[in-house]
Amino acid sequence: MPASPTHKSAAPAPDPRPVIRVHGDFAMVAGVRCIACGHPLIEQVDACPVCRARVSRDNFGPGGTVFAATVLRIALPERPPPYGLAYVDLDGGPRILAHGYADRDTCRPLAPGDRVRLTGQTALGDPLVELETPL
């Protein structure tokens, strides 16, 4: 009798979202920075992917600049539309994907070049940004 195939269950994939640490009215993204070339990463790695040098722990944010943004109007599980998404270049840090609007009431998306502030995370754990108001 032939042997039955062995089915190995795959380990769940690690959560790719950055670790968010909230400090009162602002938040920071936990990550690492290369000690040689300064390359910032949100992934927890032992060596820099650019120069292979060691990395040290660092925190990024709370400020950043929008690289690109949109409002999604398609339902995804646990995410009813519409919701705003933006790629944000954190000051001195990496680029992250975050939720946010320029105007939540009208669902107006953020725009490239907008200054934003990382304020925390959504109920599902996604990074959340708000448009900075000029002083």
Rounded Cα–Cα distance for residues 65 and 128 (Å):
13
pLDDT score recorded for residue 7: 64
CA angle 12, 129, 106 (to 5 degrees): 115
pTM of structure: 0.85
User: Pseudo-torsion of CA 12, 18, 23, 25, nearest 10°?
Assistant: -110
pLDDT above 70 covers a percentage of the chain that reads 93
Contact 119, 129 (CB under 8 A): yes
- Per-residue pLDDT tens digits for 50-71: 999 999 999 999 999 999 999 9
Q: How far apart are CA 129 and CA 111, in angstroms?
A: 13
Domain over 19-131 is classified CATH 2.40.50.840: yes
